[in-house]
Amino acid sequence: MLRRQSSVIFLVLGLIACNGGSKGKSNDSPAAIEFPPAGGGASFTNRTSGAFTFPAPNLSEDDLASHVTGDALFDEVFVGTQGQLNSGLGPVFNNTGCRSCHIKNGRGMPVMGDDGALRSHILTRISIDPELLTQFPGALPSPGEGPIGVPGLGGQLQDYAIFGSTAEAKVKIGWVDVPGTFADGTTYTLRRPSVTFSGANAALLNSTGVLSSLRQTPPIFGLGLLEAVSDETLLAMEDPDDKNGDGISGHLNHVWNPEKGALSIGRFGWKSSAPSLIAQTAGAFAEDMGVSNPLHPELDGSSDINIETLKHTAFYTQTLAVPARFNSSDPSVNTGAQLFKSVGCQSCHVAQLVTGSTHPVESLRNQSFSPFTDLLLHDMGEGLADHRPDFQATGSEWRTTPLWGIGLAQTVLPDSAFLHDGRARTIEEAILWHGGEAAKAQEKYRNLSADQRKALLAFLKTL
C-alpha cells in the first residue's frame, strides 16, 4: 500500500538529512545507576503509550525499510474467506493477526474469549503427561522430546473458529483470591486463575493425563538483542548444580529448532521453548492464527504465507527499539536500585548482557544492554508451577522475564498484567508470587519496610 511506501521514503530522507540519524538519546543518569543503556544502541527515549512501537534508531537504511515492511505485515488481519487478500485464517485460531494480541507491542491483558473487542490475549498450551502416554492411543512423541500433543487437538487450544468450523473449546478464566501478609503486618490479596473448559472437548481436556497451561502475550521489543547474545555467553551463565552456592541454579532449555531440524538453545517464550524469532513467529502464525507457513506447511507442502512474509515479520520483532529508562529526580529510585541488588533480584534479573558479533542484523552486534534477565530457567516454586514440562523446563521452571520496559507496561496497555497467566495485576503482586529459587528474595521483599518496598517499586517503574 502506498502509505507504507511513502513512510519508508520519509524515513530514509529523514535519516539522510541527519547524517545517518542520531542514536537514541538515553537520559540515564550515570551517577545514580550504573547500568548500560537499556537497549544499547537500540535505546530510544519515549515514555508514552507508543514507547514499544519505534524502530531501533541504529538500523541501517535497508534494515529500516525491512522493519517498516515487517510493521505493515504485523498489522495484517487474516480472514477465513478463501481467495481474498490475507486468506488462510484458521479454520481454528486464537486471534486474527499479530497486532490483535500484540497491541502496541505490549504485554497482553488477562482476557480470554471476552465480549469480542479483544478476543483472547491468553492462550492455552496443552499436552499429554509423558508418564501416562500409553493411555492416549494416537499420541505421538514430538521431535526433540518436546510436549506431546493431545490427539485431535495438538499442543495448543484454539478457542475461535471461522464460519462453518467449531472452536476446539471455550476457556473461561475465573480468579481465586490468595491472601498474604508483609512482615510489617500489612495484608495483601493475590489471585490465581481457575480455568474452566467447555465445548465438545471439555471431557478430554479435564481427563487425567492432559496437561494445560496458560500463556499471556509478552511484550516484543528488544528481542533481537536477546537473540544476538551468543550461546557461549548463555552457557557460561548456567549453574545447574548451584556450584557457587547462591541458592540459584539456572539452566538453559534445549528445544527443537524447525529451521535446523535439530536441538538449539531455547530463548523465547515463558519456558524458553522457542530457539529463534523466526521459529517463534512461524509457530505463532501456525498455532495462534492457523496460518500455514514454510516452517509449518500444509500436508501438501504449500503454505498460506511465503518465506519473505515470515522473515519480514520476524525481522520486525528483532529490530524494535528498547525504551530508555526514565531519568527520575526522585531520590528513592536510587535506594530502590540498591535494594534490587541487596534483596537478590539481580541474581536472576541480570542487569547487563552483551551481544555476540555474528547476528545477521549488524546493528544488533556487540551491544552492551540492560534487559534484567539471564535467559535461564529457574524453579519458581509450587505457587507458579503449571506442572506441564516443556522440553527441559520442568513443571515449576520458568525463564527469567526481562524487566526492561516493565515500568511502561501499563502506560502502553492500562489493563495489562504480569506473569505467564496474567495473574499479577501489579508489579508488586508479581514479586510476591516468586517462590522456589526466588523464595529467599521474596521473603526479603516481604520483610522490607513500606518505604523500602515503595523505593524498590519506584526503581522498577523507571525501567
Which residues lie near another protein (CB under 8 A)?
Answer: 1-4, 6-7, 10-11, 13-15, 17-18, 21-22, 24-25, 27, 44-50, 53-55, 57, 68, 71-72, 75-77, 79-81, 84-86, 96-97, 99, 103-104, 109, 115-118, 163, 324, 326-329, 407, 410-415, 426, 461-462
For the bound state, the minimum distance from the C-beta of residue 335 to another protein, rounded and expressed in Å, comes to: 15
Going by their DSSP bridges, the two strands 262-266 and 322-323 should be labelled as unpaired
Residue nearer to another protein on the CB measure, 163 or 177: 163
| Minimum CB distance to another protein smaller for 229 or for 430 | 430
User: Where do we find the cell 551491544?
Assistant: 367
Nearer to another protein, 21 or 258 (CB): 21
Give the nearer residue to another protein in terms of CB position, either 274 or 417: 417
CB of 255 to another protein, least distance (A): 32
Residue closer to another protein (CB basis): 440 or 454? 454
Residue 209 amino acid letter: G
Strand ranges across the sheet with 156-157? 156-157, 122-128, 210-216
The grid coordinates of residue 393 equal 523446563
Cβ at position 218, least distance to another protein in Å: 16
User: What's the one-letter identity of residue 91?
Assistant: P
Smallest gap from Cβ 370 to another protein, in A, equals 16
Q: How far is the CB of 325 from another protein (least distance, A)?
A: 9
Q: What gap in Å lies between CA 365 and CA 358, rounded to an integer?
A: 7
- Kindly report the CA angle at 443 between 440 and 444, in degrees rounded to 5? 90
Q: How far is the CB of 202 from another protein (least distance, A)?
A: 19
User: Grid coordinates in use for 457?
Assistant: 517499586
Whichever of 216 and 272 has its CB closer to another protein, that residue is: 216
User: Cell numbers at residue 127, please?
Assistant: 499436552
* DSSP calls for 364-382: GTT-EE-------EEE--T
405 CB-near residues (< 8 Å, 6+ apart): 38, 51, 52, 219, 221, 222, 322, 323, 463
